[in-house]
Amino acid sequence: MARKPILAAGGIVVRGGARPLVAVVQRSKDERWVLPRGKLKRDENPAAGARREAVEETGHRVDVFEFLGAITYRARGRSKLVQFWRMRAAPRPSRELTDDIAAVEWLPLAAAVRRLSYPLERLFLHNVGRRVLKRRGRKGARRKRVGKSSGARKKTATRRKSGMLRRMLRRIRR
């Protein structure tokens, strides 16, 4: 029987003004440079887990935007799936870094790609990085946030949609 994959989430976290900077973090355990990411807690929503990991690893509050894609690889004999979202960091840190992280650096896109230790992450950031920076820079572009920020309206809409889905499933089962 195949073992379940390890589920993880993270973000391409950007801050800055005219010259945007991308966060890369150095892990304490092996001193490798990676994108902010980590394993999901049991039953945790991937976007919420991505936000939690980005805040813990960069020390900055973040706004989460659209899903960017995923990478998959083998880790300790199991498949690991890491999903990434576009994120915007607050200008100033709001907390200390988690003990798992030795350092965080904010670098221009090309330097961030070069700093990453894993070729798969380098390729992923290289491919989505320009799109992330373009989205960020478009004046007047609507940016849909994911997660907590939409509050009660989102809960109401979710309840409405889940009720509609339950009714549709009942009809299908008949």
The domain segmentation of the chain, as residue ranges, is: 6-143, 150-174
What number is the average pLDDT over the span 118-128?
A: 97
- The span from the CA of 9 to the CA of 45, in Å, is 9
What is residue 121's predicted lDDT score, i.e. its pLDDT? 97
CB 74 within 8 A of CB 38: no
36: pLDDT strictly greater than 60: yes
Q: Does residue 149 register a pLDDT over 80?
A: no
- Which pLDDT tens digit goes with each residue over 41-96? 999 999 999 999 999 999 999 999 999 999 999 988 899 999 999 999 999 999 99
pLDDT of residue 139: 44
What string of DSSP letters covers 127-172?
A: HHHHHHHHHHH-TT-----BSGGGHHHHHHHHHHHHHHHHHHHHHH
pLDDT on residue 157? 52
The answer, yes or no, to whether residue 24 has pLDDT greater than 80, is: yes
Q: Does domain 6-143 have CATH number 3.10.310.40?
A: no
Closest CA to 145 of 88, 60, 95, 61: 88
pLDDT score for 131: 86
What pLDDT is attached to residue 3?
81
Report the pLDDT value the prediction gives residue 168, as an integer from 0 to 100.
Answer: 53
Per-residue pLDDT at 167? 56
- This prediction has a pTM of 0.78
Q: What is the pLDDT of residue 135?
A: 73
Looking at every residue in the chain, the average pLDDT score rounds to: 85
